[in-house]
Amino acid sequence: MIRYDHRDSGLSSKVPSDVGYTLDDLADDALAVMEAHGVERAHVIGRSRGGMVGQVLALDHADRVATLTLACSPPGLGDERLPVAADWLLERMTERLFTGPPPRCVRPGGVDRGAGRVVRRVPLRRTHRKPNL
């Protein structure tokens, strides 16, 4: 098993804030890690942004991806080649949002509790959603 940190996350190198990068760049990084370790085909598992990177890797290098497992990874964000959520899913989410009980975050104190959990659990890191090209 090989696990690595994307640019600007964990123990990886930090990119100057005026230098952007794309999902294609991150997929190329993943391919470079595979090549550096002599891996011809991999079972790729991606969580969150790593899942989006895995999708691009599978699109661009299908011969190098044996299987792709996604966890907590949105489809279609930031790359028009990725699938978008099915209409039925969007309808169900909208229905739940407007007809179900209010989410905990909109109940009294919910935002403060949620923000506190995020601050405790999520390390501060930069992401470039709109890279400067």
pLDDT tens by residue, 65-98:
999 998 888 765 556 776 666 666 667 767 766 6
- What's phi and psi for 42, nearest 5 deg? -135, 150
Higher pLDDT, residue 127 or 70: 70
Q: Are residues 1 and 22 in the same domain?
A: yes
Query: Element (H or E) spanning 28, and its range?
Result: helix 23-36
| 127 falls within a domain | no
pLDDT tens-digit readout, 3-48: 998 888 888 878 777 778 888 999 999 999 999 999 999 999 999 8
Instruction: Indicate which CATH number applies to the domain containing 69.
Output: 3.40.50.1820
pTM score, two decimals?
0.61
C-alpha triplet 74, 105, 128: angle, nearest 5°? 40
Of 61, 58, 59, nearest to 69 by C-alpha is 58
| 26 falls within a domain | yes
C-alpha triplet 128, 4, 55: angle, nearest 5°? 60
Domain count, the chain: 2
Evaluate if residue 54 carries a pLDDT over 80: yes
Of 26, 68, 23, 63, nearest to 44 by C-alpha is 68
Q: Are residues 23 and 58 in the same domain?
A: yes
